[in-house]
Amino acid sequence: MASIWPIGALLIGAPRAWAEDGYDLWLRNAPVDAAGAQRIGASAQSIVGADTPTLMIARRELQRGIAGLTGVTAPLTATVQQGAILLQSAAQQDEASVPTDGLGPDGYAIRTMTVAGKPVTVIAGATDAGVLHGAYAWLRLARTGAALDRIDMRSAPRIGLRLLNHWDNLDGTVERGYAGQSIWDWWRLPDYKGPRYTDYARANASLGINGTVLNNVNAKSDSLTAAYIAKAAALADLFRPYGIKVYLSVKWTAPMELDGLKSADPLDPAVAAWWKAKADQIYKAIPDFGGFLVKANSEGQPGPQDYKRTHADGANMLAAAVKPHGGIVMWRAFVYAHDNPDDRAKQAYSDFKPLDGQFADNVIVQVKNGAIDFQPREPFHPLFGAMPKTPLMMEFQITKEYLGQSTHLTYLGTLFEETLKSDTLAKGKGSTVAKVIDGSLEGHKLTGIAGVANIGVDRDWSGSIFNQADWYAFGRMAWDTDLTAEAVAREWAAQTFSPDPNVVAPIVAMMMRSREAAVDYMTPLGLAHIMGTGHHYGPAPWVSELARPEWNPVYYHKADRQGIGFDRTRTGSNATGQYAPALAKLLDNPRTTPERDLLWFHHLPWDYRLQSGETLWDGLIHHYDRGVETVAAMQRDWAKLKPQVDAERFAQVETFLAIQHREAQWWRDACIAYFQSVSGRPLPAGSAAPAHPLDWYKALSFPYAPGHPK
Amino acid sequence: MASIWPIGALLIGAPRAWAEDGYDLWLRNAPVDAAGAQRIGASAQSIVGADTPTLMIARRELQRGIAGLTGVTAPLTATVQQGAILLQSAAQQDEASVPTDGLGPDGYAIRTMTVAGKPVTVIAGATDAGVLHGAYAWLRLARTGAALDRIDMRSAPRIGLRLLNHWDNLDGTVERGYAGQSIWDWWRLPDYKGPRYTDYARANASLGINGTVLNNVNAKSDSLTAAYIAKAAALADLFRPYGIKVYLSVKWTAPMELDGLKSADPLDPAVAAWWKAKADQIYKAIPDFGGFLVKANSEGQPGPQDYKRTHADGANMLAAAVKPHGGIVMWRAFVYAHDNPDDRAKQAYSDFKPLDGQFADNVIVQVKNGAIDFQPREPFHPLFGAMPKTPLMMEFQITKEYLGQSTHLTYLGTLFEETLKSDTLAKGKGSTVAKVIDGSLEGHKLTGIAGVANIGVDRDWSGSIFNQADWYAFGRMAWDTDLTAEAVAREWAAQTFSPDPNVVAPIVAMMMRSREAAVDYMTPLGLAHIMGTGHHYGPAPWVSELARPEWNPVYYHKADRQGIGFDRTRTGSNATGQYAPALAKLLDNPRTTPERDLLWFHHLPWDYRLQSGETLWDGLIHHYDRGVETVAAMQRDWAKLKPQVDAERFAQVETFLAIQHREAQWWRDACIAYFQSVSGRPLPAGSAAPAHPLDWYKALSFPYAPGHPK
């Protein structure tokens, strides 16, 4: 007993230095072993570079990282010395020893070479932002245990706009946020600028994220008042040297709400003039303001259709207002109407496809990865590949509204990869979604990808340590859509926990099967949208009484005595007809439809035979069983890591996995209890009956579930 | 330029160890100089003590503090050595070298003495909690630079219940909270128990706070469901070893809302039975549960009066439910009725005074410091001294609803001291409010003091560094009502910033005049309740159209062409008649009324002569001027401290003082613009006209002001 005290006391002596509370994210600079310190130190004995604000940040990050990892400081020197890191800025192009052509505004090159007879590492970019991205890339190599003595890499993103979308409200709440309140302290801005804003910029710049939309797409007009523009400008000033631009979501009726205009008709000259003046006002405060994000005529938001105008009419009017300043408009395609009886999955396509070619050249249409709404799994959105004349921007959801919210470990890298690599067949094989959004398929210059942020004031930023990996994966894959989810998970785990392969391997293995586990215990075989109403927490496949048909889970699974699934084939809603003919042909046939999407496209009898040979009913149950079992296996794998993980983070993950297992069981049992009440079929041998009767699950309520918009 | 880098890098190397983000509060263990390390180390070379959970905490705190302050670890030893700290637990009474009689359940004794021939420091208590309090007291001496080689002190609180009241809602919002969301993560409790809960317990135990009411007095019934009882129990388990009990606010109609009872009539046996069963259920989960806090028939909350029963009927019914378990009921006296035309300041007294002697012996009536509602200044509440047969508990507000909210530096120690030392004259001179609440005036055993917490998830806990001082002052003065605000400020500044007298003296000087400055720029000379509606942010003396008369500022200041003030004398509302006759006599005469309370008790002509000889009108303006000038002086004093304060905290305080100065000017200008519009009088020479016309101030709106209940 007594003997533990001195050790205890030593740890207790400087607890903050070692507190593993997750605040440092993947920028954690924990001391490495002697060999690691030697590996890093040899290539980072000093730093040579210029003095622009951005290059000073690059230098500080390198010095902070090197000092943290090795315990040795890398001084700034004026002359090149052996083992130096040279920051080759845009201004140094003339004397450049590393060519920067083709790197674009954000790319970088890192090369170990001999300069003035000394072995050095050159980090170069065509811009200072490029150099900063290179510095973060070098630190990533250092933290992940990569060799630093022979580097010759060039990296540039193909997608121009790599943005976070914050669904943050002006009152500090975050719609679908599960990591506490908004990190934007609107009330005390622009006066008080706490250190967290800078750490936010560091984290994003380290991934190459180059823009952030500050406020919820369900926007308040107030964010366009002079007071709030000044607040946004204060943030823009902090983010600018990190290569990050600020954008704002706008409410369509702002001209009426703020200045009493009689209409918000996009073709009304007074309305256009108001927006032009508003844009001028914003750019006066934020010269490099990025532009507007718009949710119009969607889920109750006003929009141009209220005036019998099209989305293009609306987008182009706004685009004209920001055009003189080099701004853009991101117009969301997430629309479906209560008075439209057609399959909800078809409505965005029906609305936007006819508008292809009608959008101004500084408009980009932002399309969710799937046609419904960020479900655990959705086939790629049919608009991808269907609007060749229009730049389309991807909208992923990083916050896990439907994937376990704040506690479930469900790594989204695999979801991102699955979507990006989906082949639209729009222009033959290889017409992947990635090529649509990076502009290469149709030759668009304006390209973008957005992630709905999972960031809040929780000390660990994202509500859990593993949720940080989703932010990381979004940023890394936005930079390079060729990256695999596994490679990204490996990078993240090495930086977040330890480069030790005995730590990285099991953690990556957990991450890589985690999202499929959630699909299995929530919505297997192409099921979707069977979650609880409003808060979207937990299972509720039985809900059928909501006002709008497409709000009800029963609308999506259509389970009955005979079978289950939504017939979207040409003999059904013909949503398949919205895909390229070659793909539609495959999707019209259950046998040539990927089984993971089976019930998304087909209504099938319970006796339908899956590829495994088992019936659809038995297979459905077995998927649910497998989902729960996989979480149990993740718990066992995590338990084995106890010796290698600090107590604080080990305990958090252990606790959250226990919650996930309990809730996976709940999803499995509630869904099976319901589907069995419909199918009247016995469970396959070996599958346990639900723990409670169906009514028990129906009676559960969650009045204080987080993230639920008021 | 270059030369700064090595230093910069060194600091950057281990940034977290030195991050002055305020998280450590007054428990900050920054390294002291060599002399200080010698002073502390000599008296803390080892620790000897027993192994109960609470004593282990005491030991860990001592070791953590000593290691942080001196860099040297004090090991636990089994035998007494020179310079040891001996933790003399309750169990060691037999061999006790320090008598602990009279220390009560919480008190401690610290004595330097010779034990087994060795000079040591003994920290003793009649309970383990007492020893823990002693350990924190010793650390306070160490951190504040006190001599440690000659200590002989005994300290025990006279007030039994020293509680925080959290106005925290189950959805994570905090009513009148200005430090972010609630620190209670209800959603993830009882599973996830983050480190913050323990740090919360440490901070409170270090002050001797021994209880916490977890939820808002505007309570939801849900907090009494099994699920939420389990969440509260998880917190109680964490707080127990720190000597802190958990309490809950209850909603009067919970039996109806949760279990469909037809009534909440306290005399209905079914209702009494429900509460008894509920109490049994709570004590099963929380054996040392403290009891209930009740806001009934107040501001729309239901209560026993809805059934024609008295507050005593309601309190006694609940008291019977918790009595078998040793629990208590804290029944709030904050009541006023929309249908009661009498002076709002009189209504609590009118309701409760007749009930004196009717309350069960485990009921304590919780009375706000003043008769209105936590105004910048109020005379003490007339109930103090007026209910001799009833234990009265003080309710202070630590969160600064009316005193500048999250940004103004307005140290509340002076407000607490002013109230506690007010003489009720109830039993002759010296019948102070402190003696009423510590039970000594009427010989009550059940005694208490509560502070409405200013705690949230902001990294610095309280929304600003200086707001931490209000939490500290409440705890310290609850422990010892004889402490002066200045002595407490000195302790706090020394621990929070530095024991250096050149730092402590100017900071204490700022703190000591800060609240009087706020009174001057907000509500001088006894004015009250002239703030903005709802959010209570900023000035709005002109508001007159609210539904209930007593909600309108004009109700309180009654300013007109002739004069200003609320006539509460015997010829007015006769609120003065609620005080002891000797005091009432003084208050009925403006000349014998403390000028600070003048307009609270008197309506006087603008030409009334103040003690200074100037007219009331001129004096009012001069008070407003002085308030703004004092804040400007505080800004100058803080600026001088830049060399001695870390950059992070210096910048935050500098920014907040700038906000405070701007808002002080706003208060001053808006109030003067309004009062001048009523009085029609010219400003005294040297007083500047308001910056804007009155309508400009009236037009301001603050839709997203924090802390405003939805």
Judged by CB atoms closer than 8 Å, whether chains meet at B73 and A13 is answered as yes
Judged by CB atoms closer than 8 Å, whether chains meet at B63 and A12 is answered as yes
Taken in order A461, A464, A465, A466, the sign of the CA dihedral is negative
Domain membership flag for residue B318: yes
For residue B188, pLDDT over 50 is answered with: yes
Average pLDDT (A437-455) is: 98
**Nearest-Cα residue of chain B relative to residue A652:** B192
Domain membership flag for residue B442: yes
In angstroms, the separation between the Cα of residue A68 and the nearest Cα of chain B is 5
Domain membership flag for residue B208: yes
- pLDDT tens digits for range A513-527: 999 999 999 999 999
**Nearest-Cα residue of chain A relative to residue B181:** A181
Average pLDDT (A658-671) is: 98
H helix runs in A125-176, sequence order: 128-143
Amino acid at B336: Y
pLDDT confidence bin for A51, thresholds 50/70/90: confident
Judged by CB atoms closer than 8 Å, whether chains meet at B170 and A9 is answered as no
Q: For chain B, what is the domain count?
A: 3
As annotated, the active-site residues of B are 299, 373, 401
Q: Do residues B377 and B596 make contact, with C-beta atoms less than 8 angstroms apart?
A: yes
H helix runs in A152-253, sequence order: 195-205, 226-239
pLDDT confidence bin for A686, thresholds 50/70/90: very high
Q: Specify whether A150 is located in the same domain as A170.
A: no
The 10 Å Cβ neighbour count of residue A457 is 22
In B, which residues are within 8 Å of A19 by CB distance?
A: 16
In A, which residues are within 8 Å of B710 by CB distance?
A: 710
For residue A337, pLDDT over 90 is answered with: no
Distance CA A628, CA B495 (A): 51
Nearest 5°: phi and psi at A31?
Answer: -55, 135
Per-residue confidence (pLDDT) for residue B49, from 0 to 100: 84
Whether omega before A119 lies within 30 degrees of 0, making that bond cis, reads no
pLDDT confidence bin for B338, thresholds 50/70/90: confident
Cite the beta strand spans of B578-698 per DSSP E: 604-605
Q: Specify whether B167 is located in the same domain as B276.
A: yes
Q: Do residues A120 and A85 make contact, with C-beta atoms less than 8 angstroms apart?
A: yes
Average pLDDT (A384-397) is: 98
Per-residue confidence (pLDDT) for residue B316, from 0 to 100: 98
In angstroms, the separation between the Cα of residue B137 and the nearest Cα of chain A is 19
Distance CA A309, CA A325 (A): 25
Nearest-10 crossing angle of helices B501-522, B647-679: 20
In A, which residues are within 8 Å of B195 by CB distance?
A: 21, 648
Amino acid at B21: D
Q: Do residues A38 and A66 make contact, with C-beta atoms less than 8 angstroms apart?
A: no
**Nearest-Cα residue of chain B relative to residue A2:** B76
- pLDDT tens digits for range B52-75: 999 999 999 999 999 999 999 999
Judged by CB atoms closer than 8 Å, whether chains meet at B77 and A659 is answered as no
Q: Specify whether B406 is located in the same domain as B332.
A: yes
Judged by CB atoms closer than 8 Å, whether chains meet at A13 and B78 is answered as no
Final residue before a domain boundary, out of A124, A155, A186? A155
Q: Specify whether B661 is located in the same domain as B685.
A: yes
Q: What is the ipTM of this complex?
A: 0.94
Domain membership flag for residue A315: yes
Average pLDDT (A362-384) is: 98
Amino acid at A419: T
Judged by CB atoms closer than 8 Å, whether chains meet at B710 and A706 is answered as no
pLDDT confidence bin for B93, thresholds 50/70/90: low
Final residue before a domain boundary, out of B92, B125, B155? B155
In A, which residues are within 8 Å of B12 by CB distance?
A: 60, 63-64, 67
Q: Specify whether A489 is located in the same domain as A612.
A: no
Per-residue confidence (pLDDT) for residue A17, from 0 to 100: 45
| A604: Cα within 13 Å, side-chain hemisphere | 25
Q: Specify whether A193 is located in the same domain as A276.
A: yes
User: Given B47, B67, B77, which is nearest A13 (Cβ)?
Assistant: B67
Average pLDDT (A47-76) is: 94
In B, which residues are within 8 Å of A187 by CB distance?
A: 406, 704-706
The DSSP string of B186-237 is TTTTTT---HHHHHHHHHHHTTT--EEE-S-SS--GGGGSHHHHHHHHHHHH
Q: Specify whether B141 is located in the same domain as B167.
A: no
User: Given A67, A170, A658, which is nearest B704 (Cβ)?
Assistant: A170
Give the best residue of B181, B182, B648 to mutate against chain A (max A CB count within 10 A): B181
Q: Do residues B273 and B315 make contact, with C-beta atoms less than 8 angstroms apart?
A: no
Select from B654, B417, B615 the least CA-distant residue to B516: B417
Q: What's the CATH number where B6 sits? A: 3.30.379.10
Judged by CB atoms closer than 8 Å, whether chains meet at A457 and B406 is answered as no
Domain membership flag for residue A652: yes
CB-count exposure of residue A328 (10 Å: 0-12, 13-18, 19+): buried
Judged by CB atoms closer than 8 Å, whether chains meet at A71 and B13 is answered as yes
User: Given A13, A47, A76, which is nearest B64 (Cβ)?
Assistant: A13
In angstroms, the separation between the Cα of residue B448 and the nearest Cα of chain A is 32
Whether omega before B190 lies within 30 degrees of 0, making that bond cis, reads yes
Per-residue confidence (pLDDT) for residue A18, from 0 to 100: 55
In angstroms, the separation between the Cα of residue B173 and the nearest Cα of chain A is 9
Judged by CB atoms closer than 8 Å, whether chains meet at A75 and B6 is answered as yes
Number of Cβ pairs closer than 8 Å across A and B? 152
Judged by CB atoms closer than 8 Å, whether chains meet at B16 and A16 is answered as yes
Judged by CB atoms closer than 8 Å, whether chains meet at B51 and A5 is answered as no
Average pLDDT (A310-332) is: 98
Nearest 5°: phi and psi at B168?
Answer: -95, 130
- Chain-centroid distance, C-alpha B106: 20
Per-residue confidence (pLDDT) for residue B50, from 0 to 100: 72
Domain membership flag for residue A591: no
For residue A97, pLDDT over 90 is answered with: no
Q: Do residues B582 and B589 make contact, with C-beta atoms less than 8 angstroms apart?
A: no
Judged by CB atoms closer than 8 Å, whether chains meet at A710 and B710 is answered as yes
User: Given A76, A171, A191, which is nearest B704 (Cβ)?
Assistant: A171
- pLDDT tens digits for range B618-631: 999 999 999 999 99
Mapped onto helix, strand or coil, the DSSP state of residue A241 is helix
- pLDDT tens digits for range B431-442: 999 999 999 999
Domain that holds residue B62: 2-155
In B, which residues are within 8 Å of A708 by CB distance?
A: none
User: How many percent of chain A have pLDDT more than 70?
Assistant: 97
Structure tokens at A701: 């309520």
Average pLDDT (A283-287) is: 98
**Nearest-Cα residue of chain A relative to residue B78:** A2
**Host H or E run for residue B111:** strand B108-115
Q: Specify whether A362 is located in the same domain as A430.
A: yes
For residue A7, pLDDT over 70 is answered with: no
3-state SS string for A561-596:
CCEECCCCCCCCCCHHHHCCHHHHHHHCCHHHCCHH
Average pLDDT (B183-187) is: 98
Give the best residue of B51, B64, B238 to mutate against chain A (max A CB count within 10 A): B64
User: How many percent of chain A have pLDDT more than 90?
Assistant: 94
Domain membership flag for residue A187: yes
pLDDT confidence bin for B156, thresholds 50/70/90: very high
In angstroms, the separation between the Cα of residue B142 and the nearest Cα of chain A is 16
Q: Specify whether B453 is located in the same domain as B487.
A: yes
Do the strands B161-165 and B211-213 form a parallel or antiparallel pair, or are they unpaired?
parallel
3-state SS string for A502-540:
HHHHHHHHHHHHHHHHHHHHHCHHHCCCCECCCCCCCEC
Q: Specify whether B166 is located in the same domain as B248.
A: yes
In A, which residues are within 8 Å of B459 by CB distance?
A: 194, 196, 459
Nearest 5°: phi and psi at A448?
Answer: -160, 160
For residue A12, pLDDT over 90 is answered with: no
In B, which residues are within 8 Å of A51 by CB distance?
A: 1
Chain-wide mean pLDDT for chain A? 95
**Nearest-Cα residue of chain B relative to residue A8:** B60
Domain membership flag for residue A579: no
In A, which residues are within 8 Å of B460 by CB distance?
A: none
Average pLDDT (B239-259) is: 98
Q: What's the CATH number where A546 sits? A: 3.90.1330.10
B525: left (phi over 0), alpha (psi -120 to 50) or beta: left
Select from A40, A197, A225, A42 the least CA-distant residue to A118: A42
Per-residue confidence (pLDDT) for residue B197, from 0 to 100: 98
Active-site annotation holds for A550: no
Select from A145, A152, A166, A140 the least CA-distant residue to A97: A152
Q: What's the CATH number where A229 sits? A: 3.20.20.80
- pLDDT tens digits for range B570-582: 999 999 999 999 9
User: How many percent of chain B have pLDDT more than 90?
Assistant: 94
Per-residue confidence (pLDDT) for residue B96, from 0 to 100: 54
Average pLDDT (B453-474) is: 98
pLDDT confidence bin for B97, thresholds 50/70/90: confident
**Nearest-Cα residue of chain B relative to residue A463:** B188
For residue B7, pLDDT over 50 is answered with: no
Final residue before a domain boundary, out of B104, B129, B155? B155
Nearest 5°: phi and psi at A155?
Answer: -145, 130
For residue A382, pLDDT over 60 is answered with: yes
Per-residue confidence (pLDDT) for residue A661, from 0 to 100: 98
In A, which residues are within 8 Å of B21 by CB distance?
A: 195
pLDDT confidence bin for A626, thresholds 50/70/90: very high
Judged by CB atoms closer than 8 Å, whether chains meet at B406 and A14 is answered as no
pLDDT confidence bin for A94, thresholds 50/70/90: low
Judged by CB atoms closer than 8 Å, whether chains meet at A21 and B703 is answered as no
**Nearest-Cα residue of chain B relative to residue A659:** B191
Q: Specify whether A385 is located in the same domain as A236.
A: yes
pTM of the model: 0.96
Q: Specify whether B170 is located in the same domain as B79.
A: no
Residues in chain A: 710
